[in-house]
Amino acid sequence: MTTRPMATPGADGRFGEFGGRFVPEALMPACLELEAAFTAAWADPGFRSEYEGLLRTYANRPSPLMEAKNLSERLGVRVLLKREEMNHTGSHKINNVLGQALLTRHMGKKRFIAETGAGQHGVASATAAAFFGLDCVVFMGEVDTKRQELNVFRMELLGAEVIPVTSGSRTLKDAVNEALRDWVATVETTHYCIGSVMGPHPYPWMVREFQRVIGDEARAQCQELIGGVPDYVVACVGGGSNAAGIFAGFDDTDAKLVGVQPEGGAAIGRGTPGVVHGHRSMLLQDEHGQVLEAESISAGLDYPGVGPEHSHLHAIGRATYPWVNDAEVLEAFKLLSRTEGIIPALESAHAIAWVAKEAGREIPEGSTVLLNLSGRGDKDVAQVREILAR
């Protein structure tokens, strides 16, 4: 039997040469505890059914697979939308957060911290914390608290404390740094709910497993709708959790897996291997190893690194990671709004932009494309309005 490209990592937390556990000694016991707790929980039918029950009744799963007829007609390729934006709180982030919140309860911890870029992971974390009665603190770059003001208010409304991070580039990368600094001091009572497939082992694996529900559902839905697998599976990539989740349902098929990065944060292609935030992966950095600041219209993708499993899938040729620019993203944002009546998150608009750009070019006419619509765009409307008015 051949192992699947997206296999379970070994005890060293490696995906090929990427991954690992590059954390201070103070965090090692917690990483080992979390690995043991997740391994046991994931093999426990009781935990699974509790988690699946929450996904169904609280998060509104399964999310629909929709034939995007108008967009398909426009582009000349058949586009199927996996509607993760219909989840409670408006994005795929809730899938991961509910899993980690359940685990937090199992580990007996009472405090739940998170980093956030666009605010979607922060909102999902604040939501789960309210539901489970956990104290929640969310770290958010100061730049992002301004870009995503409404999400700050939503988190506060849900009872979370939002801490604006003023160090470094004041975006997602620095929010992760600050969350790690908090966690080093509070690890005995606090769980750090990382929002993407990044960080020290077991996070990249655990978050992918909590997100694989997207791919597993989509695989079954594609079977029903088109009687097989699509030619392409496309998702945007910040840290890469929505992409990893949907790819996980198709890694053993012939479907081409495409992770779309922002041009200003294309760690895969424009970066080199580096070690930051607890893992080894592709990273935008200078010749001396100083991390560079990413630049993207979308706060959720404004990150100089990428989850280690994506670096591995790229290295073995199983997935490709092109990028699109901000102008193409804005066009895609409008395109989906006008053709299908769905306002996508700016993050998800990256995936749409790549399909729109490559339909009839790299994507042969008549192909079937499964596109992960990771989130809804309500949070971005004010920002886009401002940009379009300039």
The option from other proteins, ligand PLP, none interacting with 357 (CB < 5 to 8 A, set by class) reads: none
Q: Of 224 and 287, which CB lies nearer to other proteins in the complex structure? A: 287
Residue 117 neighbours by CB under 8 Å, 6+ apart = 140, 141, 144, 171, 172, 175, 238, 299, 300, 301, 302, 303
For other proteins, the binding residue among 2, 46, 188, 341 (CB under 8 A) is 188
Active site (annotated) includes residue 93? yes
Q: How far apart are CA 157 and CA 291, in angstroms?
A: 34
Identify the CA nearest to 85 among candidates 61, 52, 114, 67: 61
Q: Select from ligand PLP, other proteins, none the partner in contact with residue 366, using the beta carbon and a kind-dependent cut-off of 5 to 8 Å.
A: none
* Residue 296 designated active-site: no
Given the complex with ligand PLP, which of 9 and 204 has the nearer CB atom? 204
Does residue number 241 form part of the binding site for ligand PLP (CB under 6 A)?
A: yes
Residue 118: phi and psi, rounded to 5, are -70, -15
348 binds, options ligand PLP, other proteins, none, Cβ within 5 to 8 A by partner type: ligand PLP
Report the run of H or E that residue 193 belongs to, with start and end: none
Size of the site for other proteins (CB under 8 A): 38
Give the shortest CB-44-to-other proteins separation in angstroms: 25
The rounded distance, in Å, linking the Cα atoms of 304 and 283 is 6
Tell which positions 275-294 bind other proteins, by CB under 8 A. Answer: 275-278, 280, 283, 285, 287-291
Question: And the tokens for 91?
Answer: 């994005």
347 binds, among ligand PLP, other proteins, none (CB under 5 to 8 A by kind): ligand PLP
Place of tokens 């890469």: 240
C-alpha distances in Å from residue 9, one per residue of 83, 333, 358? 29, 36, 33
Binding-site member from 196, 285, 367, 368 for ligand PLP (CB under 6 A): 196
Segment near other proteins (CB under 8 A), from 66-74, 179-187, 314-322, 348-356?
Answer: 179-187
